[in-house]
Amino acid sequence: MLHIVNKSPAERNTLESCLRVAQEGGAILLIEDAVYAATRGNEGESKLRDALSRFKVYALAPDLEARGMQDRVMEGITTVDYGGFVDLVAEHKTCQSWL
């Protein structure tokens, strides 16, 4: 399953909820303000680092760039463009958007 998260971990607990219920082996795509979670030095960094052993984690590159965070992405997180976003959706049988 592909989990799509769009809320900043500083404002909402959607990423934390996603990490708590998602099953190992799935994928997580961070978009919009959720891309802050993919950066070094954020308050949710340790939780996301732990999740990297259980999930493949992606961040939408245009959203990172729009926030000036493209140079702060944590090691282990794969950035994707819009085409990559579409590929991820097509690759997974189900998608869950966390609002």
25-81 pLDDT, tens digit per residue, is: 899 999 999 999 999 998 778 889 999 999 999 999 999 999 999 999 999 999 999
The pLDDT score that the predictor gives to residue 44 is: 77
The pLDDT score that the predictor gives to residue 64 is: 98
* Structure tokens belonging to residue 72: 């702060």
Residues 6+ apart with CB under 8 A from 33: 6, 7, 8, 11, 63, 67
- pTM of this structure: 0.95
Domain extents in the chain: 2-98
Quick check: 38 and 48 in contact, CB under 8 A? yes
pLDDT of 7 > 80? The answer is yes
Q: Which CATH superfamily is domain 2-98 in?
A: DsrEFH-like (3.40.1260.10)
Amino acid at 16: E
* Structure tokens belonging to residue 79: 């950035």
